[in-house]
Every structure is written in C-alpha cells, then in structure tokens.
Amino acid sequence: MKFYIETYGCQMNISDSELVATILSTAGHIQADNIEDADVIIFNTCSVRQHAEDRVMGRIANEKSRKRTKTNLKIGVIGCMAQRLQDELIDLQKEIDFVVGVDQYSELPFIIESDEHLAVDFNKEEIYNEIYPTRRGKFNAFVTIMRGCNNFCSYCIVPYTRGRERSRPLSDVLEEVRIAGDNGYKDITLLGQNVNSYDYDGVKFPDLLRELNKIDNIKRLRFVTSHPKDLSDDLVIAMSECDKVCKNIHFAMQSGNTEVLKRMNRGYTAEHFYGRILKLREYMPDISITTDVIAGFPGESEEQFMDTYNLMKKIEFDYAFMYKYSPRRGTKAAEFTDQVDEAVRLSRLQRLIDMQREVTLHKYQAMIGKIVEVYVENVSKKSDDELSGKTDQYKICVFPGDKELIGQFVKVKITDATAGTLIGVQYNE
C-alpha cells in the first residue's frame, strides 16, 4: 500500500513520523510523495493546545471527501491526539479508519491492512530500540534519546499522551548518530521532553554529550528541551567543553513569577531560572538562548504577568515561543477555578510578542559585523542567487552564493539583520 503522513506538533512528532515511515517501509509499504497517490493517509497529531487539535480535525474533514472517488482509501490518526482521545475520535469523525497511539507504531503494518479500528494496548510504553529511521530531510537529523515525561506541569497534556519517562540505551543513541553522520547528516538534534534527566544505567546527559562529541563524521550537536530545574552545572560545563555542541539552548521559562511557577508545578523559582541563565552566560558568553512562555495561566494577576514581561526583557532571549494558556481536559490547571478571561490572555500574549520582537531584532542586529559559520541547506525562498542555511546558534542566514555550496559549511560575514534572519556575504580569510 502507498501511505502518506501529514505531521503536526513538535520535533518529537517529526521524528516519530520518520520512525513510522521506516516501520511501514520495512513491512513492504511505500511512502507516497503526495496525498493524491495515497491508499492510506496518516495524520500524526498534536494535543498540546486546543488549536492544534482543531486544525487537524479540520484537515481530516477536508480529506474525507476523497473517499467518494477512492472507496478503499483509509484515513488513520496517530500521535498525541490519538493517544488522548482513542475511540472517542472515531465517534467525532466517522471517516477515521484507525487510531494508533504513540507507543504502538510497531502494530501499524498490521492495522493498515486489517479492519481493526484501534491499536490493542494504549497503555504500552515503547522505546523503539534498534530502529534507525530513514530520514526525509537532507541535513538535520532528529534523534530521540528518551520518550515520555514525568514532570506533570499542571497545564500540560504531554505526560498523559506520552506516558512515563524512559531513556534509550546509550549504544542505540550512539549507533543512530553514527549512521546519521555516515549518511551525510552533519547537524544532529537530540530529542526528549526533558533531556536533562536522561539516565541510562547511570549514564547521564552530560556523559552522553561527551560520548557523542567524539563521533568524527558529525559537526553539530544540539538538544531540546532542557528543564530549568534539572540543568546541572556539569551540563553547562559539558556544553562549554564539547566543540560540536552548539552554543545555543532552548530553555523554557513559562513564567517569571515564582507563585505562578509553583502553581504550574515547574519545580523552580524565577530566581533559580535567572541564576541558570547567568551560569550559562558565564561559561558561554555568546550563547543564544530561546524560550517558551505562557500568558494568562489561571490565576495570573496583572502584576504576576508583568514579572514575566520584565524578566523576559531583562534576560533578552534571542527568540521566544509565546502561547496563550489553553485549558486541556484532564490536567490540573484546567480544574483551577480562576481561569483568566480569553480577551486578557490574548492581550497579554500580544504585549509579550510586541516586546520580544524588538528584543529579537536587537539581538539579531548585534550580530552585524560578526563572522558566522553557516550550514547551507537551500536556495533562498526569495531569490535563486541566494542561499539559506543555519548558523551554529540555529539562526537562519541568507547570503549570495552558488548552489554548489548546498550541504557545505561556509563562513559568512553578517551585514544586516531582521527579527528572524541574518543577511550576509561569503567571507574568505
């Protein structure tokens, strides 16, 4: 059968789609490049905010009309929303043929061929050992080092959709990174909901980084996501010492007010968070730091919101992903009685976005005159004579150049910047 996968959500889901494609291809099915050719359409879904679920439900509703002309077409839902809603999904959209949760992908080859609607065991916890995914991207490889989450932040659905935390064996991670490097992927992103708590038989995350740093045929190592309560001094030291580890970290603050952080069950204070930022900058003065922030968490007062606003401004993140709080059924915060008005949530979010845009522009413009190394990925979207790639801080950089440079690391001198793109010219010493 020909299958087509449409992916929503975080990098973990992008990585899982590669895993699913590998499992299905190994079983003899063929990945279709476009949706029209598919016998099976698979939606890999996200539940993190209501909007993410609404979007995919809209897409499924659109695609089901294909069944009129292609009567044997199957539509399947996998990923976090499948795990969360299970058979409820089939009641919501009658055209869904199967629902498979995040830890049952090994069953997919049988399910797409059978008349089963549901995977058998939604409580199973998998780590998918010794499956090394075939990748679709050209240059960056996502490598999952752990699955699940034990943190139960009070707003978050992920611990319910992805189950308890489990680390992949060190040997398996090393093998997957080596294979990726051999296949030309020089930029490796390690994935986990809280990579700082990686622990396999006593091997901790800083040890893992040091081991991976020894692999010759890769050039860049990065990781998402670091939890502020678990970012150890040893990790900061390992980051600063390992030459392949990018001096760039995604470090989710969520709120700048200790009382709100407590109610979010984040396990750290605003002071602790700021202290960790200082530690990172002490060891790596040029480190680029990005974050996640939630506006309008239940009970958040204007003063508490301003603590977030002011701390973000003081820290000057290179970039921030900002969200308005979205209640998720089954989480603690959804039961809190003091939900903030939708209009207030929205206006607080907008204020954060406006402030951060200025900060990002300022941070990007501060790069003017500097020499950076760019991993060239593509011809730029705007012009055929320009190339686009990423710096080791994961900033997009555009510069004039020949297509032959795609896939190479090129030195570029930054001449201009917007709030999201560095612009430069090739630099020859």
- Contacts with ligand F3S by CB under 6 A lie at 9-10, 12-13, 46-48, 79-80, 157-158, 161-162
Which of ligand SAM, ligand SF4, ligand F3S, none interacts with 152 (beta carbon under 5 to 8 A by kind)? Answer: ligand SF4
Binding-site residue total for ligand SAM (CB under 6 A)? 18
Q: Among residues 5, 10, 42, 359, which is the contact residue for ligand SAM, using CB under 6 A?
A: 10
Residue (114 or 150) nearer to ligand SF4, CB: 150
Q: What does the alpha-carbon distance between residue 72 and residue 56 come to, in Å, rounded to a whole number?
A: 22
Q: What does the alpha-carbon distance between residue 339 and residue 97 come to, in Å, rounded to a whole number?
A: 37
Q: How far is the CB of 323 from ligand SF4 (least distance, A)?
A: 11
Q: What does the alpha-carbon distance between residue 83 and residue 103 come to, in Å, rounded to a whole number?
A: 9
Write the binding mask 287 to 326 for ligand SAM: x where contact by CB under 6 A, - elsewhere: -----x-x----------------------------x-xx
Q: What does the alpha-carbon distance between residue 149 and residue 10 come to, in Å, rounded to a whole number?
A: 14
Which of ligand F3S, ligand SF4, ligand SAM, none interacts with 161 (beta carbon under 5 to 8 A by kind)? Answer: ligand F3S
Which of ligand SF4, ligand F3S, ligand SAM, none interacts with 60 (beta carbon under 5 to 8 A by kind)? Answer: none
Written as one letter, the residue type at 338 is: D
Which of ligand SAM, ligand SF4, ligand F3S, none interacts with 352 (beta carbon under 5 to 8 A by kind)? Answer: none
Dihedral of alpha carbons 404, 409, 415, 416, sign = positive
Write the binding mask 173 to 202 for ligand SAM: x where contact by CB under 6 A, - elsewhere: --------------------xx--------
Q: How far is the CB of 203 from ligand SF4 (least distance, A)?
A: 21
List the alpha helices (DSSP H) in 268-383: 270-283, 302-315, 342-365
Q: How far is the CB of 224 from ligand F3S (least distance, A)?
A: 11
**CA atoms in the 13 A half-sphere facing the CB of 112:** 30
Which of ligand F3S, ligand SF4, ligand SAM, none interacts with 80 (beta carbon under 5 to 8 A by kind)? Answer: ligand F3S
Q: Which residue has the tokens 């916890």?
A: 125
| 272 burial type by CB count under 10 A (0-12 exposed, 13-18 middle, 19+ buried) | middle
Residue (146 or 180) nearer to ligand SAM, CB: 146
Q: What does the alpha-carbon distance between residue 385 and residue 264 come to, in Å, rounded to a whole number?
A: 48
Q: Among residues 252, 340, 367, 423, which is the contact residue for ligand SAM, using CB under 6 A?
A: 252
User: How many CB atoms lie under 10 A from the CB of residue 65?
Assistant: 9
Q: How far is the CB of 275 from ligand SAM (least distance, A)?
A: 18
> Which residue from 315, 319, 323, 313 is spatially nearest to 420, judged by alpha carbons?
319
Residue (10 or 143) nearer to ligand SAM, CB: 10
Are 413 and 427 in contact by the 8 Å Cβ rule? The answer is: yes
Burial 68-102 (b: 16+ CB within 10 A, else e): eeeeebbbbbbbbbbbbbbeebbeeeeebbbbbbb
Binding to ligand SAM (CB under 6 A) within 198-237 occurs at 225, 227
Site residues (CB under 6 A) for ligand SAM? 10, 48-49, 155-156, 158, 193-194, 225, 227, 252, 254, 292, 294, 323, 325-326, 328
